[in-house]
Structure 1
Amino acid sequence: MASSKRRPERRQEPLSRERIVAAAVGLLDTVGESGLTFRALAERLATGPGAIYWHVTGKTELLVAAIDAVIAPALAGDDTGTTPREAIRALALGVFDAIDAHPWVGTTLAQLPRTGQSPMLRVFERVGRQVRALHVPEAAQFTAASALLSYILGVAGQNAANTRAARPDTDRTEFLDAVASAWGELDPDEYPFTRDVAGQLREHDDRAEFLAGIDLILTGITAGRTRS
């Protein structure tokens, strides 16, 4: 009689907050914020919802942690040896790329309560330090940092929303060409400016335009400093 051999048990990685957050990011990338439930997350982690609640108290905390994880690489850079302008541009582009790669971040941020634990607080702090390093007058520092943060989140979020709204098989060049052609056919009396810039729309690069906007804001901030 042949002896039966026991199959070795597969060792599972212990459940941790880091694993839960990583799984949540993956789920959000796949199905979006509406599909992130503790039941779906438990299935992905092959565990029970109760085990997840041991590490995370609720969905809001989970979303905050997921956004923090996505934004973290943009905050990991070292500003040593760079000018304040260079540091702001690098941080802004890092956040732009993070939201572009994870489009749910923009819409989710708008839904989270505005508390001291907002995921963007560290971005605001980092921007504010560089604004201060630009020697912006103290009375104007909050406005300058807020304007930069609003631009970063607004443009990055809109870019991500446009990406989500487009069909998966959309060719960007063909799409922009079609829109630019439509702009070029607008009434010249009602839309003279839009007609004139239609060609620039056709050829523009999203990341380059985003950084150009950052530069415009920084130029205004530093011009205001020299006038004070």
Structure 2
Amino acid sequence: MTTRARRTQRRTEALSRERIVKAAVELLDTAGEGGLTFRALTERLATGPGAIYWHVANKSELLDAVTDSVVAAALAVEPADSGDSPQEEIRAVALGLFEAIEEHPWLATQLATQLSRSPWQSVAPRVFESVGRQVRALGVPEGNWFTATSALVHYTLGAAGQNSANTVNAQVLGPGMDRAEFLGTVSRAWEELDPVEYPFTRAVANHMREHDDREQFLAGIDLVLTGITALRSPAE
């Protein structure tokens, strides 16, 4: 083996798929999907493009790997106490995904893309398995497993994605605008709606200003769980 070949082999071995994924997450967090290019990756990792292509074939495969890595970490909930109920386990899984999407604004779009484009890959089964096991543990009849689990997953990802979008939009509206200012702007706009056409929206406008995102999110999970647990047979 020549010296150059040995150096190339060592460099390829040192540049693991895990390092590439970690660097890609950092680029996505700071620059968004448009900033994730193989050129930017080579600069961040101080390597050549060939070493990266050894581990991932293209950007699509890289985005899949990055999404799977972040979701796997979000779902790696510490083993619960033996007394924890399936409801508490579901809340922990949902909150883990909520916080991951809040921390990584690009994740909501990637999750939606993967779940619709390639639900047979690892991300969809990871999420469904984490929630579905607990739905089954609740004693829900088997015929309702898929619907109940889908309701929880869709609510979790939809609400978490909207929360992340609100955070991003607040930053876009003006320099230094924080969440409270953004929600205040929305609340005032709702209060000024026509009282005949929008009586309900005007009535809850103040709640928009004052609500806590996590508390509201978990309250929504509890509402869904209330409906799901009603499916259990009386013997459960």
TM-score, structure 1 length as denominator? 0.89
Matched, 1:41 2:48: no
- Please, which of 144, 157, 162 is the counterpart of residue 158 of structure 1? 162
One-letter code aligned to 1:115: P
Q: Residue 125 of structure 1 corresponds to which residue in structure 2?
A: 129
1:45-94 CA-to-partner distances (Å, cap 9, x unmatched) read 11111100111122222112211222233221224521100000011001
Residue 38 of structure 1, CA deviation: 1.2
Residue 182 of structure 1, CA deviation: 2.1
Matched, 1:114 2:118: yes
One-letter code aligned to 1:188: P
Q: Residue 138 of structure 1 corresponds to which residue in structure 2?
A: 142
How many Å separate the matches in 2 of 1:80 and 1:133?
15
- Residue 68 of structure 1 aligns to a residue whose secondary structure is helix
Matched, 1:188 2:190: no
Q: Residue 105 of structure 1 corresponds to which residue in structure 2?
A: 107
One-letter code aligned to 2:18: E
How many Å separate the matches in 2 of 1:227 and 1:114?
38
One-letter code aligned to 2:60: T
1:119-147 CA-to-partner distances (Å, cap 9, x unmatched) read 23211101000000001010000000011
Q: Residue 178 of structure 1 corresponds to which residue in structure 2?
A: 185
How many Å separate the matches in 1 of 2:149 and 2:59?
29
Residue 99 of structure 1, CA deviation: 0.5
- Per mean C-alpha deviation after superposition, the further-off stretch among 66-75 and 184-193 is 66-75
Name the CA shift for 1:181/1:115 in 2 (closer, same or farther; >3 Å): closer
- Residue 14 of structure 2 aligns to a residue whose secondary structure is coil
Aligned partners of 2:167 and 2:179 also within 8 Å: no
How many Å separate the matches in 1 of 2:94 and 2:157?
9
Aligned partners of 1:33 and 1:108 also within 8 Å: no
Q: Residue 5 of structure 1 corresponds to which residue in structure 2?
A: none
- Per mean C-alpha deviation after superposition, the further-off stretch among 110-119 and 59-68 is 110-119
Residue 118 of structure 1, CA deviation: 4.1
The equivalences for 1:67-106 within 5 A come to: 67-77=67-77, 78-81=79-82, 82-106=84-108
Task: Extract unaligned runs of 5+ from structure 2.
Answer: 1-10
How many Å separate the matches in 2 of 1:139 and 1:79?
27
Residue 224 of structure 1, CA deviation: 2.4
Bigger fraction of residues in helix: 2
Name the CA shift for 1:111/1:34 in 2 (closer, same or farther; >3 Å): farther
- Residue 140 of structure 2 aligns to a residue whose secondary structure is coil
How many Å separate the matches in 1 of 2:193 and 2:67?
41
Name the CA shift for 1:166/1:226 in 2 (closer, same or farther; >3 Å): same
Larger Rg: 1
- Per mean C-alpha deviation after superposition, the further-off stretch among 48-57 and 172-181 is 172-181
- Per mean C-alpha deviation after superposition, the further-off stretch among 159-168 and 204-213 is 159-168
Aligned partners of 1:124 and 1:145 also within 8 Å: yes
Matched, 1:210 2:212: no
One-letter code aligned to 2:85: T
Aligned partners of 2:70 and 2:100 also within 8 Å: yes
Q: Residue 198 of structure 1 corresponds to which residue in structure 2?
A: 205
The sequence identity of aligned pairs, in percent, is 65
Report the RMSD for the aligned CA atoms in angstroms.
1.8
Task: Extract unaligned runs of 5+ from structure 1.
Answer: 1-11
Task: Provide runs of 4+ in structure 1 moved above 6 Å.
Answer: none
1:170-212 CA-to-partner distances (Å, cap 9, x unmatched) read 1222222222122122211111111111111111011111101
- Per mean C-alpha deviation after superposition, the further-off stretch among 152-161 and 82-91 is 152-161
